[in-house]
Amino acid sequence: MPELEALTVSAPATSANLGPGFDCLAVALDLGNAVVITRRPGPLEVRVTGEGAGELAEDGSNLVCRALATGLPSLDGLAVECRNRIPLGRGLGSSSAAVCAGLVAANALGGLRWTPDELLARVTALEGHADNAAACIAGGMVAVRPGPRSDAVPVPEDLAFVVVIPEARTSTDAARLALPATVPLADAAVTLAHAVGLTLALGEGRLDDLPGLLGDRLHEPHREAAVPAVDALRGLVGRAGCLGATISGSGPSMLLWCRSDDAGALAAEAERVLARAGAPGRARPSRVSAAGVRARWTGGADLRLARAVG
């Protein structure tokens, strides 16, 4: 019996803000979700495995399906399997990955030919912000500007991270409510200088300069209370190869910056820090994902490979 043709969409986790780049900088990470869609007779079927199994909706209200439905007249005849590896509510772009995957699937299934800029605008309309979405779509590290539009930020090949993922969760909405309506001009100026210096240092491969460039005064001071062991994790900077520590998105995950050769040892040390602080969680070495959201066809008589972006 011939194999059913399936569309598999992969979407990376993302970390936004990156310290001083509030709502402007984000990076795609080598951890991601996959959505597998097959056509067969009957009503929509949805299955969730991995992260969120038994918790996320398994019907048309699932975020992937809601995004799919913005581009397709009907979801009947589709079987959608969400294979999730991105933890929920940890500031790692799980909702952006779901929306991006759904929109790219609609793009491919409907032959819509949305461009990356159009995809970004659509994700932003659903998500409310563009930073995670821009990194998820483009891959690599990006800077987001009005439009929304995104530009690639060059990163050194030996840049790596340790993602510290606590068991505790937070919501983007709650984290937004913690932010003040105004900030002192001096804080804005210092943070802006750090953001500019950070992108220049990365583009020129000056990783040794990162410890002095990752400080933020706009959002991190107001979100620290929701991040387990935040002070202890920041105390790793300058030890175990740690070049900096930033809150991932709205938290409560932390992103520890390092060189690739130091990532394993730093992850082990971060887990010891969590254990000493009595904060359940795990630390995962990670690299920048050069690939953003992608789709490929498998099965059927003809094997097709498509980026399904643009």
Question: pLDDT tens across 147-181, in order?
Answer: 899 999 999 999 999 999 999 887 777 767 788 88
Whole-number pLDDT of residue 236: 97
Question: pLDDT tens across 269-306, in order?
Answer: 999 999 999 999 999 999 999 999 999 988 653 334 34
Residue 35 pairs in a beta bridge with 9, 82
Q: Do residues 27 and 202 lie in contact, with contact meaning Cβ atoms separated by under 8 Å?
A: no
The highest-level CATH class for domain 6-153+290-298 is: alpha beta
Question: pLDDT tens across 224-249, in order?
Answer: 999 999 999 999 999 999 999 999 99
Whole-number pLDDT of residue 177: 79
Is the pLDDT higher at 175 or at 35? 35
Answer whether residue 29 shows pLDDT above 80.
Answer: yes
2 confidence band (pLDDT: 50, 70, 90): very low
Over range 73-84, report the average pLDDT: 97
Is the pLDDT higher at 300 or at 25? 25
Whole-number pLDDT of residue 304: 40
Whole-number pLDDT of residue 287: 97
Over range 128-149, report the average pLDDT: 95
Whole-number pLDDT of residue 299: 64
Question: pLDDT tens across 44-65, in order?
Answer: 999 999 999 999 999 999 999 9
The C-alpha atoms of residue 141 and residue 134 are separated, in whole angstroms, by 9
Cα–Cα distance list, 254 to 71, 208, 223, 288 (Å): 35, 20, 12, 15
Whole-number pLDDT of residue 298: 81
The C-alpha atoms of residue 41 and residue 44 are separated, in whole angstroms, by 9
The C-alpha atoms of residue 142 and residue 25 are separated, in whole angstroms, by 6
Whole-number pLDDT of residue 305: 36
Whole-number pLDDT of residue 4: 60
Domain-by-domain residue ranges, the chain? 6-153+290-298, 159-287
The highest-level CATH class for domain 159-287 is: alpha beta
SS3 of the chain: CCCCCEEEEEEEEEEECCCCCCCCEEEEEEEEEEEEEEECCCCCEEEEEECCCCCCCCCCCCHHHHHHHCCCCCCCCEEEEEEECCCCCCCCCHHHHHHHHHHHHHHHHCCCCCCHHHHHHHHHHHHCCCHHHHHHHHCCEEEEECCCEEEEECCCCCEEEEEEEECCCCCHHHHHHCCCCCCCHHHHHHHHHHHHHHHHHHHCCCHHHHHHCCCCCCCHHHHHHHCCCHHHHHCCECCCCECEEEECCCCCCEEEEEEHHHHHHHHHHHHHHHHHCCCCEEEEEEEECCCCCEEEEECCCCCCCCCCCC
Whole-number pLDDT of residue 140: 98
CA end-to-end distance (rounded Å), the chain: 33
Average model confidence (pLDDT) for the chain? 92
Answer whether residue 28 shows pLDDT above 90.
Answer: yes
Q: Do residues 7 and 36 lie in contact, with contact meaning Cβ atoms separated by under 8 Å?
A: yes
Task: Give me the amino acid identity at 233.
Answer: L
